């Protein structure tokens, strides 16, 4: 399915909030990535010159099959057709500067190739999206490990909250946030994000 908008959730795991020296949010923190940032398994993450540090963030993505607005938590998962592994690639220095200045994260999060999305797996084939192990390796070395059980706002809450304000359409993706252990990517690295029971997403890193 071709992806529409990508709604990303920031600060949804406590350990990651701590490592970013942020405060726990009272409501989900949302931002968008453009569809032009999407790449698939095997495609290269391209880092533009001069943007400073770029970080990896392994996440579970929910793919919307049935659109809706004002979706209840009870009905939320009936709007999800597939799940996938996602890497919320982030120009961290650009984001940090924006945060300090009270400016948006759009550039830091939305550059071309900064949204690697793995193969879409039907929701019915995944055991339980509330207890999936997340892992991320760079050049084979384990960098991130977490479990979707640690989300502050679980998938039902996210879908309900987002759809209060933004109409969800078939093909939209919701990236549900990253556990702790985010860290830098360098040209020449190979980054492998995995959600056990969903799949793996492997991308080489290059300069543009
Ligand atoms: Mg993220």
User: Would 203 be classed as within a structural domain?
Assistant: yes
The label of the residue with tokens 């919701």 reads 174
User: Would 81 be classed as within a structural domain?
Assistant: yes
**Ligand 1 centre from 8 Cα, in Å?**
7
Q: What is the pLDDT of residues 144-190, one digit of tens each?
A: 999 999 999 999 999 999 999 999 999 999 999 999 999 999 999 99
User: Would 1 be classed as within a structural domain?
Assistant: no
**Ligand 1 centre from 12 Cα, in Å?**
8
CA quadruple 139, 19, 133, 77: dihedral positive or negative?
A: negative
| Residue 139: domain span | 6-207
Res. 16: pLDDT tops 90:
no
**Ligand 1 centre from 101 Cα, in Å?**
20
Considering the chain, what is the average pLDDT of its residues? 96
Res. 95: pLDDT tops 80:
yes
In the chain, the percentage of residues whose pLDDT exceeds 70 is: 99
The whole-number pLDDT of residue 20 equals 87
CA quadruple 112, 12, 198, 72: dihedral positive or negative?
A: negative
**Ligand 1 centre from 86 Cα, in Å?**
9
**Ligand 1 centre from 44 Cα, in Å?**
19
pLDDT band at 80 (very low <50, low <70, confident <90, very high): very high
Tell me how many domains the chain contains. 1
The whole-number pLDDT of residue 2 equals 66
**Ligand 1 centre from 122 Cα, in Å?**
22
Pairwise CA distance, residues 208 & 202, whole Å: 18
> Which residue, among 154, 152, 133, 153, has the nearest Cα to 144 in the 3D structure?
133
Q: What is the pLDDT of residues 99-136, one digit of tens each?
A: 999 999 999 999 999 999 999 999 999 999 999 999 99
**Ligand 1 centre from 9 Cα, in Å?**
6
**Ligand 1 centre from 177 Cα, in Å?**
5
**Ligand 1 centre from 72 Cα, in Å?**
24
**Ligand 1 centre from 205 Cα, in Å?**
18
The whole-number pLDDT of residue 170 equals 97
User: Would 122 be classed as within a structural domain?
Assistant: yes
Average pLDDT over residues 185-202: 98
Res. 70: pLDDT tops 70:
yes
**Ligand 1 centre from 49 Cα, in Å?**
22
Average pLDDT over residues 33-61: 97
| CATH classification at residue 122 | 3.90.850.10
- The pTM (predicted TM-score) of the whole model is 0.96
The whole-number pLDDT of residue 73 equals 98
Using CA atoms, how far residue 132 sits from 52, 63, 84, 109, 143, in Å, is 32, 16, 12, 25, 17
């Amino acid at each position: 399915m071709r992806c529409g908008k990508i709604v990303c959730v920031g600060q949804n795991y406590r350990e990651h909030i701590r490592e970013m020296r942020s405060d726990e949010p009272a409501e989900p923190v949302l931002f968008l990535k453009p569809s032009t940032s999407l790449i698939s398994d095997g495609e290269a993450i391209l880092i533009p010159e001069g943007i400073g540090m770029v970080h990896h963030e392994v996440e579970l993505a929910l793919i919307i099959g049935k659109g809706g607005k004002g979706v209840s938590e009870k009905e939320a998962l009936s709007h999800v057709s597939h799940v996938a592994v996602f890497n919320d690639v982030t120009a961290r220095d650009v984001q940090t500067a924006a945060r300090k200045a009270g400016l948006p994260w759009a550039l830091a999060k939305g550059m071309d190739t900064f949204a690697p999305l793995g193969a879409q797996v039907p929701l019915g084939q995944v055991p339980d999206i509330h207890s999936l192990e997340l892992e991320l390796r760079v050049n084979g070395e384990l960098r991130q490990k977490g479990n979707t059980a640690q989300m502050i706002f679980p998938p039902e809450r996210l879908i309900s909250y987002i759809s209060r304000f933004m109409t969800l359409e078939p093909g939209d993706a919701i990236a549900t946030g990253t556990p702790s252990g985010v860290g830098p990517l360098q040209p020449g690295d190979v980054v492998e994000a995995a959600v056990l029971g969903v799949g793996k997403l492997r991308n080489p890193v290059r300069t543009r």
